Amino acid sequence: MLRRDFAASDLFAVRRHTLCLASVVLLSGCALSSGIRPVGPDTYTVSEMRAPVRGGGPEAQRVVLAEANAFCQQQNRVFVPLMMTPAGNPYGLYGPSAFDATFQCLTADDPAVARFHAAFPAQTN
């Protein structure tokens, strides 16, 4: 009888640990990033996907723009967006859950930086 109780408690502990491990795996899989990848001279792309529980599309956009800007600042260059697009299923319950950006890191005196600042004055520093 004692042996059966010991086996039942072991089984319970194994199930509890398995459930905890599964929870960690599921929660860690709720965000994916491509990382910053070069696609041309001074031109890069980055994609981020966030599950709705982790902020969805708006959080993916915030993360992408922060990563891209920080990447350019590390190079002492200016972030200039080329294409910013929500990605994922637009018809889903929570809308798109991802965000893609193609951008350039340019020197401050590059004419493209001046054109960007002229076109979008509210987005300048």
Please indicate, yes or no, whether residues 66 and 105 belong to a single structural domain of this protein: yes
CB-based burial label for 110 (10 Å; 0-12, 13-18, 19+): middle
Q: 3-state DSSP call for residue 30?
A: coil
Confidence of residue 22 (pLDDT cuts 50, 70, 90): very low
pLDDT in tens, 69-101: 999 999 999 999 999 999 887 777 777 889 999
CA dihedral 70, 116, 50, 87 (to 10 degrees): -150
Please indicate, yes or no, whether residues 68 and 20 belong to a single structural domain of this protein: no
Q: Which domain holds residue 74?
A: 34-123
Looking at the 3D structure of the chain, how many domains does it have?
A: 2
Please indicate, yes or no, whether residues 5 and 39 belong to a single structural domain of this protein: no
